[in-house]
Structure 1
Amino acid sequence: MNQINPRKLLNSKWTAVKPVNKEKHFIITEVEFDEDGNVIYCLIEAIMSKRDRSIDWRELQNEETWRQGWK
């Protein structure tokens, strides 16, 4: 399980273990917090295609789907 500090999500880099549409490398471009400091919105962008989508940041903890950094 990837250990993630929600405060350090912004601009963090991720590699998809099983790329879809040849999109392998991603970066977190937007993170919003509620008044209690919990993540309520997270936007991830593919580096090559610049396509972005909303993601539940807890999905990034799954090592079978995501790896930290660009590998």
Structure 2
Amino acid sequence: MHQINPNKLLLSKWTSTSPQQKEKHFIVTKLIRDEENIVVECILEAVINKHQYQLPWQALTSTENWLQGWK
């Protein structure tokens, strides 16, 4: 598992280990915070087609699904 600081995720790059519809490389375009200003989710945008996906930031810690950077 990766150690991730959720406050530093904005504009970070990620590679999916199981690409769907040729969507392999992603960039974090937005952080969603709760009322206490704690990051709870992030928006990942596929580089190839600009599709956006919202997921809990903790999902990025799974090395089975995500690699940090573009590989």
TM-score (norm 1): 0.91
Q: Is the 8 A contact 2:40 2:57 kept in 1?
A: no
Q: Distance in 1 between matches of 2:23 and 2:32?
A: 24
Q: Which runs of 4+ in 1 moved over 6 A?
A: none
Question: How big is each residue's C-alpha offset from its partner over 1:44-71, in whole Å with a ceiling of 9 and x where there is no partner?
Answer: 0000010001011100000000000000
Question: How big is each residue's C-alpha offset from its partner over 1:5-57, in whole Å with a ceiling of 9 and x where there is no partner?
Answer: 01101000000001011100000000022343421331000000100010111
Give the unaligned 5+ runs of structure 2: none
Q: Kindly, what percent of the aligned residue pairs are identical? A: 49
TM-score (norm 2): 0.91
Give the unaligned 5+ runs of structure 1: none
- Give the match for residue 57 of structure 1: 57
